[in-house]
């Protein structure tokens, strides 16, 4: 049996000032969006902000529901809104942040598997990386160069498309 090792680069900045001005703003927007989340059940408030190639920032946050599985994560709220309003416009960077009134967050928030899958499909579609800035209310920020880094050996829905479909 042959062993294949996959490696991922995860960059870390201790101070937001180490990011570009554009990225700092995106992180701040994602942090502000946590305040508008509808998360009465988990009390885990997540905000997301996606910078599009056209300069627009599309915002989202988690939306929960009493019928628990019906809610949606912040990342997908933002990504689906971006694709709905600006189909085909490149997503350059997504910032995600979170805070909780129930638990002490020690590490920056990291997207769930379903959100990684959804973001990856947009990344593959646009053939350009979507950079990720993962944070919490304050403190260190993780920088991931592309969604694919967070979902190696991913399932590709591409095989499900009829040949010739884009």
Separation CA 98–CA 133 (nearest Å): 12
74 binds ligand THU (CB under 6 A): yes
How far is it, in rounded angstroms, from Cα 68 to Cα 21? 38
Q: Which of 8, 10, 85, 112 binds ligand THU (CB under 6 A)?
A: 112
d(CA 128, CA 107): 28
Measure the CA–CA gap between 41 and 47, rounded to whole angstroms.
16
Kindly state whether residue 42 participates in binding ligand THU, applying the rule CB under 6 A.
Answer: yes
Least distance (Å) between residue 65 CB and ligand THU = 9
Minimum CB distance to ligand THU smaller for 110 or for 126: 110
CB of residue 63 vs ligand THU: minimum separation in angstroms?
7
CB of 113 to ligand THU, least distance (A): 10
Dihedral angle computed from the Cα positions of residues 127, 74, 49 and 90, in that order, rounded to the nearest 10 degrees = 20
Residue 101's SS3 state is coil
| 92: phi then psi, degrees, rounded to nearest 5 | -85, -50
Any idea of the CA torsion for 145, 78, 72, 96, to the nearest 10 degrees?
A: 40
Q: Exactly one of 19, 26, 27, 46 binds ligand THU (CB under 6 A); which one? A: 46
In the complex, what is the shortest distance from the CB of residue 125 to ligand THU, in angstroms, rounded to a whole number?
21
| Nearer to ligand THU among residue 51 and residue 78 (C-beta) | 78
In the complex, the residues that contact ligand THU under the rule CB under 6 A are 39, 42, 44, 46, 62, 64, 71, 73-75, 109, 111-112, 115
């Amino acid at each position: 049996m042959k062993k294949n090792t996959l490696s991922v680069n995860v960059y870390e900045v201790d101070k937001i000032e180490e990011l570009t001005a554009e990225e700092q703003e995106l992180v701040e927007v994602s942090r502000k969006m946590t305040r508008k989340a509808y998360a009465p059940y988990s009390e885990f408030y997540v905000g997301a902000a996606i910078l599009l190639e056209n300069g627009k920032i599309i915002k989202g946050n988690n939306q929960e529901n009493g019928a628990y599985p019906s809610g949606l994560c912040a990342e997908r709220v933002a990504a689906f809104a971006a694709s709905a309003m600006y189909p085909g416009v490149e997503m350059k960077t997504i910032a995600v942040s979170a805070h909780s009134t129930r638990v002490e967050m020690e590490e920056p928030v990291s997207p769930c598997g379903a959100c990684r899958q959804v973001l990856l499909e947009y990344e593959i579609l646009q053939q350009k990386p979507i950079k990720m800035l993962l944070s919490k209310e304050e403190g260190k920020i993780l920088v991931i160069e592309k969604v694919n880094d967070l979902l190696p050996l991913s399932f590709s829905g591409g095989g499900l498309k009829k040949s010739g479909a884009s």
